[in-house]
Every structure is written in C-alpha cells, then in structure tokens.
Amino acid sequence: MLADGLPEDWKQALRAALASPSFQALERFVEAERREATVYPSEEDLFSAFRLTPYPDVRVLLLGQDPYHGPGQAHGLAFSVQPGVAPPPSLVNIFKELESDVGVPRPKDGSLIPWARQGVLLLNAVLTVRQAKPNSHAGHGWEDFTDAVIRAVSAKDDAVVFLLWGRYAQKKKKLIDAKRHVVIEGTHPSPLSASNGFFGSRPFSAVNEALEAHGRPPIDWRLSG
C-alpha cells in the first residue's frame, strides 16, 4: 500500500486523509504508473521528508511543487537532490541566496538532508512524477494529501514558520492559521523569477528571526560539501 512507508506519527496526524476516497484513488494511480513507466522518487524515498522530519519536530515547512523528473535527482525532499548530485538551477539560486543571507558557503552537492533533520519539512505539493514528464502526476490526488499535511502542521500547538516561494505555494496560505504561525512569502528561486525578488529577500535569516521570536531554536543552515 502507498502509505506503508509513512511513519506512524504522520499516519496518526493524517489518518482522515489516508482513509479518504481521494487517497485510495491516488494509491491505484501511482501503482499503475510504477508498472507502466519510471516514476520518481523511488518507493523507498517517497516519504523521506516525513521520516527525516517527525511530526512533533516540525519547525519550518518549505513548500515545493513537483519532484525533479531526471534520473538520480528526486529523493522525497522538496528542492533537494540525492547526496552527491549537483544542484539543479533553482537549487543553485537557493544556495546563492543562502550564502548572501547567512554566509553559508555553497555546497558541492544538492542534498538538503541536514535541514530536514532539524525540523524543516521539505514538502512538495505533488510527491511523484513520471521520468522526463514534469507535473505528470498533478491533479491525481497528491494535492489533497499534501493539503492535509499543511493543515496538520498548522494544527500544531508550537509556532511553525511556513516558507512559501512563488504563486503556487502562496495559494496554500489559506490552509494555515496565520494567527498562531508565521507565513513568509517570497519569489520562487527558479531562474525565470529569481532576479525579480528572490535574490536579496533574505528568507533564511527571516525564518530564524521568526523562530527565535516564538522561543524556538534557529535552524543551522550549514550544509556539507
């Protein structure tokens, strides 16, 4: 079953979504796609974000849209690629802003696992994709599931910082209780838009300022490599 790889803490937080007809239809769709085509990420990596960032530990939610669709890239974390893989263009821009904002040197590879281990939930709105076919799994139920994830994180008692880059992510703001949590909106780091407001936006220091203002420890944004 599709949800077998989801940790128990997340299963409890998402039990209504997992029992829904939408998720059951999604299971059938993804199973059929894996039989017919190459699908990323692998079944093993599908719920990496949830394994690396337990529900009680979420401090930041960074929302992406669609997994990378090239071989060896997607591993279940938004914007991240597998350890040892060179960062794609959007991630290169993230690293440029990271260096400019908080002085973190640009790493050689594109793995964001160190962030996930600190409570940064790197969530894509759609969790699977066919090889070489971007957005091919959009509109098949993943959005219902990940909307439920956003609502579940918004239901947490501790303040969480939601980082929403680009118009697609910002549409999800309506799912968040902005009275209890912090929502930081910004331009998407895509090469098409990064020069129109992403560079110089200082999102990483803004996240840490928001966390500390709510009595929560900041994120150590350093990456290996």
Name the token pair of 50. Answer: 């949830």
Q: How far apart are CA 223 and CA 135, in angstroms?
A: 28
> DSSP letters of 58-77?
--EEEEE-S---STTT--SS
Tokens of 109: 């590879």
Active-site residue, 66 included: yes
Residue type, 97: E
Query: What whole-number distance in Å separates Cα of residue 225 and Cα of residue 208?
Result: 23
Closest C-alpha to 167, from 141, 202, 196, 134: 196
**Active-site pick, 66, 101, 147, 157:** 66
- Which residues are designated catalytic? 66
